[in-house]
């Protein structure tokens, strides 16, 4: 599965009434991407050399990981573009967590920073992707001048957070995303909870029915933005049977029910984004498919983040 190809909606899966509109939108999107010179297709990313488990957020949105939680020693390069709507100042937050071996469940200063050669490292980098290059990008990354300053906790703590201001100034696009969405933190909590769980149950039912057409329709706006943010012009992949069969083969009649006691309701994006996240098994994921595969059982975890555009009476999927 391609990392950043998150189920883009294509016209072949839409109804007759929507086919013309979505085809036009898809075509216009591809034309727009191809109009951006290669040298301006900048990708921003964070490269991490981790000494402890961690979570990482950009503009109060958790970056996707293995259920959002990364283990100690799990070095990663995390692309930021899918969560960057425009140029300007953006805030990165890193939450350093105690080592898995910590008997007292505390994070120690030396876990984060022992000396200059034995410490956490975070690099804020930009590059131009090139699938034909050996490393997947053009040129070299200047790690020496892209390191963010790591400050360890002054004493043992349950966890430690650090924030960094990142200046983004070379994106060739501007996305609407959740910028014009309601502030969900101002909605009555009981009403909000009822509406959100209702949406996820509807989504679960669609996936359980193997209704790929409706599923892709629900993801259209979000995935169109992701295509722009990642400069992805591989349109044939989006229209392949692989995407349709994933829902039919993995999800149809396999979706686990949603039991509210198993979930937390989380608001992100400074009040603009919301998600339900499992508390224990498959932690931080939204929906789970359980599929019998020969003599074993396979699980498929799905995460969805929602927003409610101002003036809309329903939620929409905005990111995975």
Can you tell me the distance from the alpha carbon of 87 to that of 291, in angstroms, rounded to the nearest whole number?
42
Q: What is the pLDDT of residue 9?
A: 32
Can you tell me the distance from the alpha carbon of 198 to that of 182, in angstroms, rounded to the nearest whole number?
18
Can you tell me the distance from the alpha carbon of 284 to that of 275, in angstroms, rounded to the nearest whole number?
9
Q: What is the pLDDT of residue 101?
A: 93
Q: What is the pLDDT of residue 238?
A: 57
Q: What is the pLDDT of residue 184?
A: 98
Q: What is the pLDDT of residue 135?
A: 83
The three-state DSSP-derived secondary structure of 286-311 is CEEEEEEECCEEEEEEECCEEECECC
Q: What is the pLDDT of residue 233?
A: 76
Can you tell me the distance from the alpha carbon of 207 to that of 196, in angstroms, rounded to the nearest whole number?
17
Q: What is the pLDDT of residue 19?
A: 42
Can you tell me the distance from the alpha carbon of 54 to that of 69, in angstroms, rounded to the nearest whole number?
6
Tens digit of each residue's pLDDT (9 = 90 or more) over 282-291: 999 999 999 9
Residue 207 is encoded by which pair of tokens?
């996936």
Encode burial over 202-212: b for 16+ CB neighbours within 10 A, e otherwise.
Answer: ebbebbbbbbb
Q: What is the pLDDT of residue 240?
A: 66
Query: Can you list the positions of beta strands (E) in the chain?
Result: 42-49, 54-58, 61-62, 76-79, 88-96, 113-115, 118-119, 121-128, 160-168, 263-268, 273-278, 287-293, 296-302, 305-307, 316-319
CB 316 within 8 A of CB 221: yes
Query: Can you list the positions of beta strands (E) in 133-191?
Result: 160-168
Q: What is the pLDDT of residue 123?
A: 97
Domain boundaries of the chain, sorted by first residue: 11-36+177-319, 39-168
Q: What is the pLDDT of residue 28?
A: 81
Q: What is the pLDDT of residue 232?
A: 87
Q: What is the pTM of this model?
A: 0.88
- Which portions of the chain are predicted below pLDDT 50? 1-21, 24
Tens digit of each residue's pLDDT (9 = 90 or more) over 259-295: 999 999 999 999 999 999 999 999 999 999 999 888 8
Q: What is the pLDDT of residue 303?
A: 94
């Amino acid at each position: 599965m391609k990392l950043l190809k998150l189920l883009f909606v294509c016209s072949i899966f839409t109804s007759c009434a929507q086919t013309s509109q979505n085809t036009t939108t898809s075509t216009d999107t591809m034309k727009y991407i191809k109009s951006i010179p290669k040298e301006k297709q900048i990708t921003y990313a964070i490269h991490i050399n981790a000494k402890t488990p961690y979570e990482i957020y950009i503009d109060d949105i958790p970056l996707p990981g293995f259920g959002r939680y990364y283990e100690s020693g799990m070095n990663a390069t995390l692309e930021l573009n899918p969560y960057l709507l425009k140029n300007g100042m953006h805030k990165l937050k890193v939450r350093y967590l105690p080592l898995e071996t910590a008997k007292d469940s505390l994070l120690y200063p030396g876990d984060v920073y022992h000396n200059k050669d034995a410490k956490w490292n975070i690099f804020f980098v930009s590059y131009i992707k090139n699938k034909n290059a050996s490393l997947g990008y053009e040129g070299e990354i200047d790690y020496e001048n892209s390191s963010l300053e790591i400050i360890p906790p002054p004493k043992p703590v349950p966890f430690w957070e650090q924030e960094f201001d990142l200046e983004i100034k070379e994106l060739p696009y501007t996305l609407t995303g959740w910028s014009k969405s309601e502030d969900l933190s101002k909605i009555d909590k009981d009403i909000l909870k009822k509406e959100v769980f209702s949406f996820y149950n509807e989504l679960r039912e669609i996936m359980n029915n193997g209704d790929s057409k409706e599923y892709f329709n629900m993801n259209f706006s979000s995935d169109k933005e992701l295509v722009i943010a990642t400069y992805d012009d591989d349109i044939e992949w989006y229209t392949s049977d692989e995407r349709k069969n994933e829902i039919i083969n993995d999800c149809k009649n396999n979706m686990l029910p949603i039991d509210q006691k198993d979930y937390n309701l989380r608001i992100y994006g400074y009040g603009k984004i919301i998600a339900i996240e499992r508390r224990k098994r498959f932690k931080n994921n939204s929906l789970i498919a359980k599929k019998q595969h020969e003599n074993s059982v396979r699980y498929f975890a799905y995460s969805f983040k929602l927003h409610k555009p101002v003036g809309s009476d329903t939620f929409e999927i905005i990111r995975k």
